[in-house]
Amino acid sequence: MTKPTKEFIDDKSRLEHEGEPLAANIEQNLKMILKDMGGSDDVVIREIRSAGSDASTAAIVYIDGMSDATIINTYIFDYLNRSLQLEMDHKDLAQQLLSGIGSLHPVAKTGELYQSLLSGEAIIFLIGSDHAYRADIRQWKGRDVTESTNQTSVRGPRESFTETLRVNTSLVRRKIKDPRLWIETIAIGRITKTDVTIMYLNGIAKPSVISEVRSRLQAIDIDGVLEGGYIEEYIEDAKLSIFPTVYNTELPDSVAAQLLEGRVAILVDGSPNVLIVPTQFVSFIQSAEDYYQRALYASLLRLLRYISGFISLLLPSLYIAITTFHRDMLPTSLLISLAAQREGVPFPAFIEAVAMEVTFEILREAGLRMPRAIGQAVSVVGTLVIGQAAVEAGIVSAAMVIVVSVTAISTFTFPAYSISIPIRMLRFVLMGLAASFGLFGIIMGLFVLLLHLCSLRSFGEPYMSPLSPFIASNQQDTLIRMPRWIHFIRPSTAQKSNRIRQRKK
């Protein structure tokens, strides 16, 4: 089968006259809109004709449900109807409308017309004008700002992002009231033309990072973008790595904190998840709640997450290696207890662990996909019943059930869900190495893993920074969080010329 060329794809994905100027005739423009949109029922066209004339002197086109029909009916249409009877010039009409609406811009190209119309703006055609005008009166139903269900916290703001782009940008604006918070918006997707916004603090974010983000986004040529995950796959550095090099969050306060450290936020219209670049591995272990509690509490909880991460990654493989190759490392009483439990088990420890881990992953996925009213109950009851039944049937040992349960619980301590997925994948790899080579296999696997992590980059920044390369000035907020009055400078992700966070007193 012949692979289609880029020209063929472009011809099928774009309108033939997308870049052409609008016609000077109102009727011709309206016929073009009806033809291109197939006479869709939600396209509303309201024409104004002078007395004794069959030709339209003005017309308003908008999408029902996306534009504010009240403003169109009570102000724009009535005003045009009265003004055209006075035979006002189209320039004077546009000026009068601008003073009333507040946002009126000329539209000269067909592609720009459809971009505005399908974004919820109203298109106004006036007789005698070789271009149209777009009025920003967008209004549609959207989800209210609610508490995040994926990133919960005991202390801190409860609000989370929604699927509306301008609501999301306003949530960040409320927290950073500084004119240096700059926003750039581009449309990505030949068909969807999704608005993608770049947000950064000018003078704090590195210009090289901003330029790289802008160039990577502009290089995306795809027919549609429906969620931030589309963008993430195109802009991430290590596309084949299982570790995410782009951070995402639903919390406006977390985005504001990242912007203050010199990072760049990418907001996608229709997605409640905001992408943050560049990012480091330690960012996935840190929680926004760490900065709302006392430093001692936050440090202890952060260390607990690191310990839980090692448990989630290594506990099953260590159990397999020790019970298979290194039994002399165990106390005699514990060794006798484990041997008694495994006396009737027909499978080796590796098969036991894989079977239990796969079973738990199936239950976890089923709990996510089931209706919320029963999903959690089914996953918990299923885990208890299956585990108990497997032990009584002699398929697995009780110790293995304990190991798998502690491992699974430790996975839920990660604040970012995206980092738990590679940990779960690597767990199976280390289990296989432990079953083959014992502790030597685990050590070699960790060594290769560490080399891979140290080789990763996120928009030019080392992924394991500030641990590798080691940056002493950034250690105050890495493994532990020092008191806030010690944080004098921003991390290395910010510009060197503007890294002063607070002055010493």
Residue 375 pLDDT more than 80?
no
CA atoms within 13 A on the CB side of 505: 4
- Which is more confident, 22 or 433? 433
Which carries the bigger pLDDT value, residue 428 or residue 396? 428
Whether 72 contacts 137, CB under 8 Å: yes
CB neighbour burial string for 29-60, b if at least 16 within 10 angstroms, e if fewer? bbebbeebeeeeeebbebebeeeeeeebbbbb
Q: DSSP secondary-structure letter at 197?
A: E
What percent of the chain is modeled with pLDDT above 70? 88
Q: Is pLDDT at 393 greater than 90 in this prediction?
A: no
pLDDT of 9 above 60:
no
Percent pLDDT > 90 in the chain is 33
pLDDT in tens, 50-65: 666 667 778 889 888 8
More confident residue, 158 or 503: 158
Tens digits of residue pLDDT in 84-96: 665 655 566 666 6
* DSSP β-bridge partners for residue 135: 104, 122
The CA R_g of the chain, rounded to the nearest whole Å, is 30
- Please state, in angstroms and as integers, the Cα–Cα distance from residue 281 to each residue in 23, 286, 463, 492, following that order: 55, 9, 6, 14
The pLDDT score that the predictor gives to residue 505 is 61
pLDDT of residue 439: 93
Query: Whole-model pTM?
Result: 0.84
Name the residue among 242, 256, 266 with its Cα closest to residue 459: 266
pLDDT band (50, 70, 90) for residue 484: confident
Please say whether the dihedral angle defined by the alpha carbons of residues 276, 281, 283 and 287, taken in this order, is positive or negative.
positive
Instruction: Give residue for tokens 């000329």.
Output: 106
The DSSP symbol for 149 reads S
- The model's confidence at residue 8, banded by pLDDT at 50, 70 and 90, is very low
Worst-scoring range by mean pLDDT, 318-322, 328-332, 445-449? 328-332
Kindly report the number of other CB atoms within 10 A of residue 193's CB atom. Answer: 17
Closest CA to 434 of 423, 425, 422, 443: 443
pLDDT of residue 7: 46
Range of lowest pLDDT (383-387, 464-468, 483-487)? 383-387
Average pLDDT score, the chain: 84
> 1: pLDDT confidence band, cut at 50, 70 and 90?
very low
| Distance from C-alpha of 427 to C-alpha of 416, rounded to nearest angstrom | 18
Residue 246 has pLDDT above 90, yes or no: yes
Span 133-185, pLDDT tens digits: 888 888 777 778 888 877 877 788 888 999 888 889 999 999 999 899 999 99
Question: What residue ranges do the domains of the chain occupy?
Answer: 6-135, 165-279, 291-462
For 2-16, 210-224, 342-356, which range has the lowest pLDDT when averaged over its residues?
2-16
**Whether the predicted pLDDT of 447 surpasses 80:** yes
* pLDDT range class, residue 380, cuts 50, 70, 90: low
What is the bridge-based pairing of β-strands 56-63 and 122-126? antiparallel
